[in-house]
Structure 1
Amino acid sequence: MTDTFPRVRKHERGYAAEEVEEFLARAREAYAAPRGEQTAIGAQQIRDTTFTIVRRGYSATHVDAALERLEDAFATRERERALHADEVGWYGDARGLAQIVLDRLSRPAGQRFARSSVFAQGYRRRDVDRFANRISRYLENGKPLNLEDVRTVTFRAQRGGYRERQVDYLLDSVVSVMLAVRAS
């Protein structure tokens, strides 16, 4: 059997190949499912997928890029099906999620998310707040913000910084909004 993705070097770590292959097989099955059939995999599940890190695994960079394309394909299909069924509801859901994001980001800088303890690392508040302002400008005024920018943003660490889980959840919500409203 040939590898779907390049493997990392001998002493490096990457994603467990068997897990990646199994997930991709389930994703192909879900994508090929008939229109009305409920599947266990969708754009959100793809975004939330994690793999075990092992020696000589698949290159995370290559797998992550493929997962982003797969997420885009599922999101486009979900959007088309939802628009066909209920266009007003689909856009209403996206607007509602965007409003939740904006409500969170309307808090004062330095107070937008819960903070980690002074003994634990979190995301640097200033970095997150700066990116949060970009998100707000995108949602409120349509200022340019690339989906790739949201997916790949990184923040420096800081003791007592913002809790990573909350920030990551908000970023996932922004990706959901962007995928829901982009032009087909």
Structure 2
Amino acid sequence: MSAPMRFRRVGKLARGYDVSQVDAFIARALGGSVSSNLIRSVGFDLKLGGYQVEPVDAALDRLEDEIAATERSGERRSLGERGFVKDVTAQAQVLRARLSRPHGDRFARGSAWERSYDVEQVDMMCDDIAEYFDGATALSAEELRGAVFASRRGARGYSEKAVDRFLDRVVSVISRVS
């Protein structure tokens, strides 16, 4: 992905990703100065007449995968295969420990009037992740990136930030072994 990326814009009265923010970030990413983790966590303001969200997100997912593959190769060279596997296994074990918590107690609850994620839906996704870590099922980074949970308010759901951070860490592990 070394060529500049072009994205379609939403209508003049619709909101899309801020054009200048996206263009600046993509230029940095293509210049090799960002990590796959940064790509996964980047956010853009919504502006009238901005870029369509879905194509930008899809391009960022592809770019993240490419950079993750480069990072993975570098880690394998610097750590050696045995050291690399040991490092990834240690990260997966930390994440797997959270998944052994009982349903309803895996993450902090949302606070006050903040939006939060449906507990049952998140726990079902966590069960899928646990099966992946146990080798019982396949799971892709794309499935986690595309995960959508019903919205709740406050303590009726899990904290969005806590769940999102956890899923980002799982995607990072999956990307390291894919």
TM-score of the alignment, normalized to the shorter chain, above 0.5: yes
Q: Write the letter of the residue equivalent to 2:87.
A: D
1:47 counterpart = 2:40: yes
d(CA) in 2 for partners of 1:91, 1:11: 50
- Sort the Cα spacing of 1:117 and 1:19 in 2 relative to 1 into closer, same or farther, 3 A: closer
| Structure 1 residues 3 and 137, CA gap change in structure 2 (3 angstroms) | closer
- Cα distance, 1:118 vs structure 2: 5.5
| 5+ long unaligned stretches in structure 2 | none
Q: Find the aligned partners of 2:55 and 2:86 in 1 and give their Cα distance.
A: 35
- Bigger Cα displacement from structure 2, 57-66 vs 78-87: 78-87
1:140 aligns with 2:142: no
Q: Give yes or no for the alignment of 1:22 onto 2:15.
A: no
TM-score by length of 1: 0.88
Structure 1 pair 147–3 and aligned structure 2 pair: CA distance change class (3 A): closer
Please, which of 170, 174, 178 is the counterpart of residue 174 of structure 1? Answer: 170
Q: Deviations over 1:98-145 (max 9, x none)?
A: 111110110000000011136443101001001100000011124021
Bigger mean CA deviation after superposition, 8-17 or 63-72? 8-17
Distance in 1 separating the partners of 2:64 and 2:169: 14
Separation in 2, partners of 1:3, 1:133: 37
In the alignment, the residues of structure 1 paired with residue 5 and residue 74 of structure 2 have an alpha-carbon distance, to the nearest angstrom, of: 33
1:116 aligns with: 110
Q: Does 1:9 align with 2:11?
A: yes
Please name the residue that 2:85 is paired with: 91
Unaligned 5+ runs, structure 1:
31-39
Change (3 A) 1:167 1:88: same
For the Cα contact (< 8 Å) 2:92–2:133, is it kept in 1? yes
RMSD over aligned Cα atoms: 1.6
State the partner residue of 1:72: 65
Other-structure match for 2:159: 163
Partners in 2 of 1:118 and 1:157 — Cα distance? 14
Paired with 2:97 and 2:169, the residues of 1 have a C-alpha distance of 13
AA paired with 1:74?
I
TM-score by length of 2: 0.91
Percent same amino acid among aligned pairs?
A: 39
- Find the aligned partners of 1:45 and 1:90 in 2 and give their Cα distance: 21
Whole-angstrom distance in 1 between the partners of 2:177 and 2:152: 34
How many residue pairs get aligned? The number is 172
Q: Match for 1:17: what amino acid?
A: V
Distance 2:141 2:113 in 1: 33
Name the SS for the 2:67 alignment partner: helix
